[in-house]
Amino acid sequence: MAAKNHEILYQIRNSRIHGRGLYASRDIPKDTWIVQYLGEKVDKEESDRRANALLEKAKSTGGAKVYIFILNDKWDIDGDVEYNDARLMNHCCDPNVEAQTWQDKEIWFVSLKDIKKGEELFFNYGFDLESWEDHPCRCGAERCAGYIAGEEYWPALRRKLSAKKAWATRRKSAGKKKRVS
């Protein structure tokens, strides 16, 4: 529980995956509390309002940074604040960190395995498949699902990708047949 003792276990650097990321500033043992996800505690209605406003804005700007994290059934944390370093942690399909809720009041990122100094810290964002095509994954992990999605959704994602590929193949074949006649 090193982070609870206020020891900073990470540094912010540019990431090969996306923008900036968090990197281990020293070797971090498995089960270490690394960084707390900070921000404003908001109820679900306000959380939905903020997320929808950001997504609507994204339609015109082309980018959205939604830093809202589920705390429990009643509350979320809007982490879109400068003092929330944890918001910079990138997604990976093979994470070395997971988010854990502490006493239903705080969210902490905890190491899933031993992490070497200099390694980027990653967690699986755990997105559902509602808008999966809007979230391609760039993690480059050997077991990358291709899109940012919780591992529990991977079987359904594979079915969607297979159906999409089959549809594209059928469409391409139909186009070739038309040109020949």
CATH classification number, 2-38+83-128, choose in 1.10.3720.10, 2.170.270.10, 1.10.150.120, 3.90.79.10: 2.170.270.10
Q: Rounded distance, CA 59 to CA 129, Å?
A: 19
pTM score, two decimals?
0.83
pLDDT of residue 167 exceeding 90? no
Residues 6 or more apart whose CB falls under 8 angstroms from that of 136 comprise 146, 147, 148
Going from N- to C-terminal start, the domains of the chain cover 2-38+83-128
Per-residue pLDDT of 67-108, as tens digits, reads 899 999 999 999 999 999 999 999 999 999 999 999 889 999
Q: Rounded distance, CA 48 to CA 172, Å?
A: 40
- Say how many residues make up the chain: 181
